[in-house]
Amino acid sequence: MAVARGEFSSKIGFILAAAGSAVGLGNIWGFPTNTAMNGGAAFVFVYLILAFCLAYPALMAELIIGRHAKSNAVAALSGESTKVPAARPFGFLVGITGIITAILILSFYGIVAGWMISYMIEPIAKMAGAPKAAEWLTDTSSTARNVFFTVLFMVATVYIIIGGVKNGIEKWSTRLMPLLIGLLVVLIIYVAMQDGAAQGFKKYLLPDFSRVTDPELLVDALGQAFFSLSLGVGTMLVYGSYIQRNENLVKLGTMVTLIDVGIAFIAGLLVIPAMYVAQAQGVQIFAEDGVTLLKEDTLIFQVLPQLFNTMGATGLVVGCAFFFLMSIAALTSSISLLEVPVAYAVESLKQDRKKSTIAIGSLILAVSIVIILNFGMLFGFVITLTTKYAQPLLGLCFCVFAGWLWHRNDILNEVKEGHPDAENSLFWKIWPWYVKFLCPLFIAAFFAKSVI
């Protein structure tokens, strides 16, 4: 008997889940720090263009393929809809590589998310008058602390995914996403009222256009856009497969992109002014040369906590809220990463959901622990391998599938579900040739640039 597939119960359920996947450490940590290190507003400008012109079409490719196939990425790409039978094994390979990439991303993501939790608890330990515990919580060299919080985070991720699409992913995304947005707004208002914030806003919002063609900036912005929209690993394909047939995919995809880009932008309004507020309080934010900013982990885990420290008791609350925000953002993304292998195990390998979620979660945890134990050698390596190489290349493959290897009629019919007039829409006039020629070409060009 076929296992009944889960589905999002409503439009808003899908939007919050997909936006929850997209909005994560990539937005609140990656985007602002990338912006700060790439000349401020110039990076924002390039990022916005790339997100809408390259990442959005690739997102649509995943959503359309997913909902049409109503299955996980491996089954979708190696199934009937791939019109060239010889390409089906290739589809299988792309799907499996996506799963492995999702597992690897989650293995480093879980470590970073664990740090967020420990930094969230640290102010509480201080308030409770336990300075020793507070010290341990922020001790980056403590393997015990790193392992403990990674385990804690993975347990939460596994718990939600066992619940399935409606009672796990949708339920928790609709609870956590509004909380995240509310917290973000409160923190921005608070930081904006502090001395030094104005200088940060200036840096963030006034572009230095001379940097716009800098190849490094372009490559960073593309990688950031693909990571942020959760592309290439099959996450959006799987979430797309849980959308009901009467929903308009074009509208949903656009909403998710707007929310993701919007929240990244808003997070910049928090983190960059906060850095300058810290500077106004005497905290060092630039390296020795006085021009280059400190590295991103230093910014989040040293500069910001130092800023919170200068604020006395209020700082404890603000610090706790900030890292709580980070932890929520990470959780709604990590569940989408875990759903990729779990959907494959349940549907294609016919395994029990609960058992496979626990087994895959444990496997990922094991990989995380190996990374923690060989941190210097593996942490940066896994991040580069997955986000700089695998994600753009897999994203390119999805575009090739949608543009060249799938039946065009299948794709059109799918877009028409929930959007009967699709054939005459602007989307259908542009997207098919765009995803066929321009997207693969541009992604390949950027990729070549980043490798050479």
Binding-site ranges for ligand PHE (CB under 6 A): 21-22, 24-27, 105, 227-228, 230, 233, 235, 333, 336-337
Residue number, 305 or 341, with CB nearest to ligand PHE: 341
- 400: Cβ–Cβ under 8 A, 6 or more apart, which residues? 440
Residue number, 280 or 328, with CB nearest to ligand PHE: 328
Smallest gap, in angstroms, from Cβ of residue 85 to ligand PHE? 30
Residue number, 25 or 154, with CB nearest to ligand PHE: 25
Partners of 82 in beta bridges: 406
Smallest gap, in angstroms, from Cβ of residue 17 to ligand PHE? 12
Give the CA angle between residues 403, 408, 414 to the nearest 5°: 105
Report how far residue 159's alpha carbon sits from residue 163's, in angstroms, rounded to the nearest whole number. 7
Smallest gap, in angstroms, from Cβ of residue 424 to ligand PHE? 33
Smallest gap, in angstroms, from Cβ of residue 420 to ligand PHE? 31
Smallest gap, in angstroms, from Cβ of residue 436 to ligand PHE? 24
Residue number, 190 or 226, with CB nearest to ligand PHE: 226
Residue listed under structure tokens 């934010």:
285
Report how far residue 280's alpha carbon sits from residue 164's, in angstroms, rounded to the nearest whole number. 47
Report how far residue 166's alpha carbon sits from residue 227's, in angstroms, rounded to the nearest whole number. 25
Residue number, 27 or 450, with CB nearest to ligand PHE: 27
Report how far residue 418's alpha carbon sits from residue 54's, in angstroms, rounded to the nearest whole number. 24
CA distances from 362 to 325, 378, 418 (A): 25, 19, 39
CA dihedral 85, 90, 95, 100 (to 10 degrees): 160
Burial 257-295 (b: 16+ CB within 10 A, else e): bebbbebbbbbbbbbbbbbbbbbbeebebeeeeeeebbe
Smallest gap, in angstroms, from Cβ of residue 88 to ligand PHE? 24
Q: What would the two tokens of residue 116 be?
A: 């967020």
Residue number, 346 or 394, with CB nearest to ligand PHE: 394
For 449, half-sphere exposure in the C-beta direction (CA atoms, 13 angstrom radius) is: 18
Smallest gap, in angstroms, from Cβ of residue 384 to ligand PHE? 14
In angstroms and rounded to an integer, the radius of gyration of the C-alpha atoms of the chain is 21
Closest C-alpha to 293, from 45, 35, 24: 35
Task: Specify whether the backbone of 350 is left (phi greater than 0), alpha (psi in -120 to 50) or beta.
Answer: left
Task: Specify whether the backbone of 356 is left (phi greater than 0), alpha (psi in -120 to 50) or beta.
Answer: alpha
Smallest gap, in angstroms, from Cβ of residue 97 to ligand PHE? 14
Residue number, 27 or 194, with CB nearest to ligand PHE: 27
Residue number, 27 or 72, with CB nearest to ligand PHE: 27
Residue number, 105 or 443, with CB nearest to ligand PHE: 105
Smallest gap, in angstroms, from Cβ of residue 193 to ligand PHE? 28
